[in-house]
């Protein structure tokens, strides 16, 4: 039995999320179906994170165990051929140790959220960013973001359906970066996130950017430790899983 680590890019628009679902297509199901077609084996693909419906990935890490003898290159090429026309691509495939686990070996996860501020409808970026039709106060958003960095009880920013044992998380980084053409990227890094945490934080930062909240309102929402104190949950299409970090490895 050989364990293979995969680096996967996908457009989350057509899927119900990463995890296999009974009520619609998932990225996990598509990849597992392709592995089974190549190997004849019932495959289970484990990922570093479970993205929601509509959320994208630039480099999701995952692993799968295969008994058949096959090289990483042949496995990657075969998967990419069978995954067409789904918007999923295997960017890298390599053999790893038997105790390497895409989820449990991961020491950091990185996300970004993309906002485009423009009145006109989006065409090229439709489904790939959150359009906000007014300009946003970047400095105020950055001030509010800084209040969320650190170890906190993030109950306000977790989904009511979150299955995590504890709402306590350490947010290592939350930065608001202005780009060209009215684009804004919010980058978030932590060892792990709660369900909807990034989207909930971004939604509140957007309220600050629009002047509907002050930066201190984000701090008060955090301290409330109550989902009812959340101002806004940002839509899924602007969120991207960027990469996962592992000890002694630069993620592919």
Q: Measured at the alpha carbon of residue 55, what is the angle toward residues 64 and 28, in degrees to the nearest 5?
A: 25
Which of helix, strand or coil describes residue 224? helix
- Give bridge partners of residue 93 from the DSSP assignment: 6
- Give bridge partners of residue 252 from the DSSP assignment: none
Give the residue among 146, 208, 143, 195 at the shortest CA–CA distance from 169: 195
Q: Catalytic residues, which ones?
A: 52
Beta-carbon-side half-sphere exposure of residue 115 (alpha carbons within 13 Å):
27
Q: How far apart are CA 114 and CA 132, in angstroms?
A: 11
Cβ count near 247 (within 10 Å) = 8
Radius of gyration of the chain (CA): 19
Cis peptide before 71 (omega within 30 of 0): no
Q: In the numeric block, which tokens belong to residue 210?
A: 């629009």
Contacts of 45 (CB under 8 A, 6+ apart): 6, 28, 31, 32, 35, 62, 63, 64
Give the residue among 10, 15, 28, 8 at the shortest CA–CA distance from 87: 10
Q: Are 177 and 139 in contact (CB under 8 A)?
A: no
């Amino acid at each position: 039995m050989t364990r293979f680590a995969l680096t996967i890019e996908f457009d989350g628009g057509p899927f119900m999320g990463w995890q296999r679902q009974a009520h619609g297509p998932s990225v996990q199901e598509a990849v597992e179906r392709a592995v089974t077609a190549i190997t004849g084996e019932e495959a289970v693909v484990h990922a570093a994170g479970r993205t929601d419906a509509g959320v994208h990935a630039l480099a999701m890490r995952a692993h799968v165990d295969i008994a058949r003898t096959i090289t990483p290159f042949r496995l990657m090429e075969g998967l990419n051929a069978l995954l067409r026309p789904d918007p999923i691509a295997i960017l890298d495939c390599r053999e790893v140790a038997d105790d390497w686990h895409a989820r449990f070996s991961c020491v950091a996860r990185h996300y970004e959220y993309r906002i485009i501020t423009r009145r006109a409808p989006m065409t090229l970026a439709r489904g790939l960013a959150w359009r906000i039709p007014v300009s946003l106060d970047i400095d105020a958003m950055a001030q509010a973001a800084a209040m969320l960095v650190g170890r906190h009880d993030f109950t306000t920013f977790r989904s009511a359906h979150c299955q995590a044992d504890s709402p306590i998380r350490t947010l290592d980084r939350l930065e608001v970066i202005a780009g060209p053409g009215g684009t804004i990227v919010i980058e978030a890094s932590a060892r792990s996130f709660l369900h909807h945490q990034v989207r909930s934080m971004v939604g509140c930062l957007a309220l600050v950017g629009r002047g509907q909240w002050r930066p201190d309102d984000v701090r008060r929402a955090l301290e409330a430790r109550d989902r009812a104190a959340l101002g806004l949950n940002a839509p899924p299409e602007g969120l991207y899983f960027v990469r996962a970090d592992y000890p002694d490895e630069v993620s592919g």
